[in-house]
Amino acid sequence: MTKVVTRIAPSPTGQMHIGTVRTALFNYLYAKQHSGTYFVRIEDTDRERNKEEWVDAIWEDFDWCKLPPDAKYRTSERLERHVALLNTLLESGKAYVSKEPKKDDPSQEVEVVRLKNPNTTITFTDLVRGEITFDTSELGDFVIARSITDPLYHFAVVADDGDAGVTHVLRAEEHISNTPRQILLLEALGFTRPLYGHFPLILAPDRSKLSKRKHGASIEKYREQGFIPEAILNYLALLGWNPGTEQELFGLEELVAVFSLERVHKGGAVFDIEKLRWFNHEHLKRLDAAEYKKRLEAFANTTVGDRIIPLVRERAVTLQEATNLLTSEFDFLENPVPYDTALLLNKGKLDAATTKKHLLALKDLTANLVVGDSSTQDMRHWFLPYVWENDSPDVVKGILMPYADQGGRGNVLWPLRVALSGKEKSPDPFTIIWLIGTEEATRRIEAALNLL
């Protein structure tokens, strides 16, 4: 069998659409499944709309998505080859130069290159949709280059695919109408026809085409929102493809093993942001603590304590939500606690003298705890009465809750939590003590007592 060669050919005319990532994913999976080659080619034939920053963004997006190509290059790098092939078509009579009025100024004349259409019927078997037939006479002698040194997309893509030995052109269904022109060019140039497969569109909830402008459907937007590549690739794989089982969570290697073009749907797939959020949360929970911490610190551009990772990971669906938690509910870990007497007394619901009595008792109980990061656990653990090798919030709760039950949980735990966090809403006081450690917890309780 001929070695499988697939490609993805995005244009550098804006942020990369999420659908382009899915097309790249399917090309990557098919090539890797058959021990073939997958490459990325930047289609920069539209010189007026191309921007260098978009070229850089495409490479960055593919790196971030963890879909590294086996090779990568730009169409513009092959201009000399394109000119040679155009001249070959002109010399053989399969194409000709046509002098025509300039579109934006009919008073001027330009020379374009047109393919001499043999006006045949073309049939190809689409790997997703089955047999498709076109009458090419409707296309006429279509333009393939603005000039001998300025080839258009259809010509460049055929020349590049042919030279690269592309065996499978796998792309979105909106390219079906391009196929007859490209097959005519393939035949004129003498290249072997690849196999074609056209994937269904990704649709918005209203079943319109999912767009970057209207729906923000660019990979960069999802990166900015704190989605991770594993979740995006997993979800995109299931948009228009079915594994044939109940399994939903897949890693990239698992997808390589089970992907098949036979299970790609013909109909459009609706993009559901809530479903993507579910996938993201599940893949975040799959990360070990060290990897989660690494990604969160990179995203939030801050340092995160080890102990807070499981608490944040369980609640935050995205890295952005995790960052928000760090700067809202968990900001007391780093920021000075802003004590407020009114809040400490639950806005007048608690008595100052009783609250002071409870905090004094809680301070003594807390001082005898050995919890927190290893830096807070010094030689005191040899003689303090409460020692645990693997401390946890439940251990703290086990020591403090009996006192809270005696004094009334609301009367005891409200001022303790506020003393520790300075906030109306925060994690429970047992978790806070476990996070900040015995020494810091005791210091904060003393600061609260000073207010009373």
For the segment 165-220, what is each residue's pLDDT rounded down to a tens digit?
A: 999 999 999 999 999 999 999 999 999 999 999 999 999 888 988 887 777 789 99
Residues 6+ apart with CB under 8 A from 322: 226, 296, 299, 300, 312, 313, 316
Average pLDDT estimate for 276-301 = 96
Question: Which CATH number is 341-451 given?
Answer: 1.10.10.350
Q: pLDDT digits over 378-393, tens only?
A: 333 333 333 334 568 8
Q: What pLDDT score was predicted for residue 281?
A: 98
- Least confident interval from 87-96, 275-284, 294-303, 434-443: 434-443
Q: Which of the two residues, 422 and 183, has the higher pLDDT score?
A: 183
Neighbour tally for 406: CB within 10 Å: 11
Q: Which of the two residues, 390 and 302, has the higher pLDDT score?
A: 302
Average pLDDT estimate for 91-118 = 93
User: Is 105 within 8 Å of 125 (Cβ atoms)?
Assistant: no
Q: pLDDT digits over 436-446, tens only?
A: 888 889 999 99
Q: What pLDDT score was predicted for residue 438?
A: 86
Q: pLDDT digits over 17-59, tens only?
A: 999 999 999 999 999 999 999 999 999 988 888 889 999 999 9
Domain residues of the chain, as ranges? 287-327, 341-451
What does the mean pLDDT of the chain come to? 90
Q: What pLDDT score was predicted for residue 391?
A: 67
User: In the predicted model, is pLDDT for residue 1 greater than 70?
Assistant: no
